[in-house]
Amino acid sequence: MKYPYILAALTLTLGLSASALAQDSTPEIGPELIVYTGTGLPTDLADALVQPFADYMDETYGVPVNVRTVPGAIPQSWLTLQTEWPNPTGDVYLLYNQNVKEGIGLGYWVNLQDQYSAEEWSTFDADALAAMDLEGYAVPMDISAWVLAVQNSLDAGAVTSVADLAKPEFAGRVTFDSALSVASGYNAIASAAAIRGDDWRSWFVDGKFDEAAARPTFELVASWADNALTLTQGSGSISPLLRRGEALVSAWWWHNVMAEVAAGTPIHAVEPSEGVVSVVQASPVISSASRNPVAAIEWVKFYQSSVATEAAKTLNYYNRVPRSNEEASPEWAEFAARANFLYMDEFRATMLDPAYNVEVLDLYNRVVIQGQ
């Protein structure tokens, strides 16, 4: 093969192995695949793989499948899929984990685990798989890890915990995202629960949000907000404050900190001593209504192959999760060796659950924003 991607023991919904598919019993493979790719680095990686994938499919099946990527906001892709079902335009979709989970119950996807041998499946990160809890319909694609972006001008050891956002010497010089603005704003609540040793599950009992049980954790977050320069609204508002030196410490995603360091901003990442609050992003999922199902399965597997891993390194896709039989990027290997990941996928899903979210944000607004 021209590319170091090995197709092994591919068991399809048709009950055919990959070797059989590559021979006389190959189902018809169409010349085009439509892939909804989200935005940012996942789209960049997909675009980088279009030609290698076409070559691979040509060598394996005699059809140089052209992948047409459809970048765009994930909520819009999810809405489009639901609106078009049962005749979606896409064959493959990159979606948020909660969308994937909802789609499982609706019969939207092909089970990905069924397409791998047990040995192959074991190469995916077991902890990340468990955190996603997506029943084998997707594998871990990347991990967003929440760390502290610290100016290099600060003394070593000046910042070790998210709790340091409340230090008097940093008054008016720290930032973290607001839960009223972006989903990453829930990270501070999860981190505060970890610092306090709280069992956040006790906040949600019998389908109700227990405000009294959650309030002490929210009050800890409020103490950080009282000391903040501002509560940010994602990367676009964090980066300028760090570049200008207005923020001495900003809670931010590790991969964004690494990109900022590469751009020349004099900051470094500190892993909080209480643990690194992290979210796993699921890989693309395969539409069960795909008009080109074999190519769709092959694309998703190719997107998680060693070819993709090497392409991701050239794109500085720092937080892509390597498989156990692959060599991680030096940056990820060094970071992962130090970080104690606290996966918050279940926490975030619960907080965002419509059954609780209005009450959660009401408490956040009163305690963290208004100081009541």
Q: What is the CA radius of gyration of the chain?
A: 22
Whether residue 49 lies inside any domain: the answer is: yes
Q: Are residues 234 and 362 in the same domain?
A: yes
Same domain, 302 and 196: no
pLDDT in tens, 20-77: 344 445 569 999 999 999 999 999 999 999 999 999 999 999 999 999 999 999 999 9
**252/296 same-domain check:** no
Please answer whether residues 257 and 267 qualify as being in contact, where contact means their C-beta atoms are separated by less than 8 angstroms: yes
Residues of the chain predicted below pLDDT 70: 1-27
Whether residues 344 and 241 share a domain: the answer is yes
* Each residue's pLDDT tens digit, 133-183: 999 999 999 999 999 999 999 999 999 999 999 999 999 999 999 999 999
Quick one: 182 and 307 in the same domain?
A: no
- How far is CA 28 from each of CA 11, 110, 287, 295, rounded to the nearest angstrom? 16, 18, 17, 10
* Ordered strands of the 66-71 beta sheet: 66-71, 32-38, 92-93, 285-287, 109-110
227 shares a domain with 81: no
Structure tokens, 357: 């979210």
Residues 134 and 147 in one domain: no
Q: Residue 205: which CATH number?
A: 3.40.190.10
Instruction: Tell me how far apart the alpha carbons of residues 360 and 190 are, in angstroms, rounded to a whole number.
Output: 13
**Based on the structure, what is the number of domains in the chain?**
2
Shared domain check, 185 and 220: yes
Asked whether the CA dihedral 172, 176, 180, 186 is positive or negative, the reply is negative
Does any domain span residue 9?
no
Does 23 share its domain with 99? yes
- State whether 59 and 167 are in the same domain: no
Domain range enclosing 262: 143-275+339-369
Q: What is the pLDDT of residue 5?
A: 37
Task: With 0.85 as the threshold, say if the pTM is over it.
Answer: yes
Residues 362 and 241 in one domain: yes
Inside any domain, residue 1: no
At 26 the pLDDT is 56
Distance CA 289, CA 74 (A): 19
SS3 of residue 37 by DSSP: strand
